[in-house]
Structure 1
Amino acid sequence: MAHGLVDVRIYTTLPNRLPEFVRLYEELAWPLQLKYLENCLGWYTTVEGELNTVVHIWGYADQADRERRRNAMAADPAWGTYLKEAAARGLLIRMENRMVRPTGFFSAFQAQKA
């Protein structure tokens, strides 16, 4: 699938709570996101720089594809369960996401590799 739109999500946890967040995410959110969003391009924790940070990256064909997939996930009661549990634990202090598109030269580079 070509990724015309990429969602870069950056979450920062409270100090020493990153492992707990990762466990909770892996148990409750990861299966749902794979089911509905499907196109995970990466899921990382920081080693250097701003600590206690998770970066996960999702690819979509376009904004309509993103909205359709995220709306379907949001309608699943299991997603609500995850959100409630994450909020109850108070693990996150900041969440941000950036919507980015590949440049023409990078798209050409990817096409050559395929």
Structure 2
Amino acid sequence: MIFDHRTYDVIPGKLNDFLKVYEEKGFPLQRKYLGEPVGWYVSMDIGELNQVVHIWKYDDLSDRAAKRAQLAAEPGWGEYLKAALPLLQKMQNKIVSPAPFFKP
């Protein structure tokens, strides 16, 4: 099992715009193709501001690649990206796996 941990830095003043676009156009498609996220979070007033963090679970890298290819082929995903990407400053992605002693 692997986890896709994503952190997006949103342009200051655009967080609510990004969240609206994502809720309406991105989240339904990701849930359809990727399943339910492990978590989806918004930064508060401590630490880095204007960030969203979301985590998705996959069986392995092949499972991730297959699901993300299906998502990318969805016409609505391109529409979402066209609306969302201009609201972002930076996107960071990392793949993590559970430590041997932790069973999620």
Q: 1:12 to 1:92 in 2, by over 3 A?
A: same
Does residue 43 of structure 1 match 2:40? yes
Q: Per residue, is there more helix in 1 or in 2?
A: 1
After TM superposition, the runs of 4+ consecutive aligned structure 1 residues lying more than 2 A away are: none
Return the offset for 1:39: 3.4
Supply the distance in 2 between the matched residues of 1:37 and 1:95 (Cα, whole angstroms).
19
Q: TM-score, normalised by structure 1?
A: 0.87
1:66 is paired with a residue whose SS is helix
Supply the distance in 1 between the matched residues of 2:89 and 2:73 (Cα, whole angstroms).
25
* Corresponding residue for residue 64 of structure 2: 66
Supply the distance in 2 between the matched residues of 1:39 and 1:106 (Cα, whole angstroms).
21
Query: Which of 70, 87, 92 is matched with 1:91 structurally?
Result: 87
Q: Name structure 1 gaps, 5 residues minimum.
A: none
Q: Name structure 2 gaps, 5 residues minimum.
A: none
Q: TM-score, normalised by structure 2?
A: 0.95
Return the offset for 1:16: 1.2
Identity among equivalent pairs (%): 48
Give the number of equivalent residue pairs.
103
Return the offset for 1:84: 1.2
* Corresponding residue for residue 25 of structure 2: 28
**RMSD over aligned Cα, in angstroms?**
0.9
Supply the distance in 2 between the matched residues of 1:18 and 1:25 (Cα, whole angstroms).
10
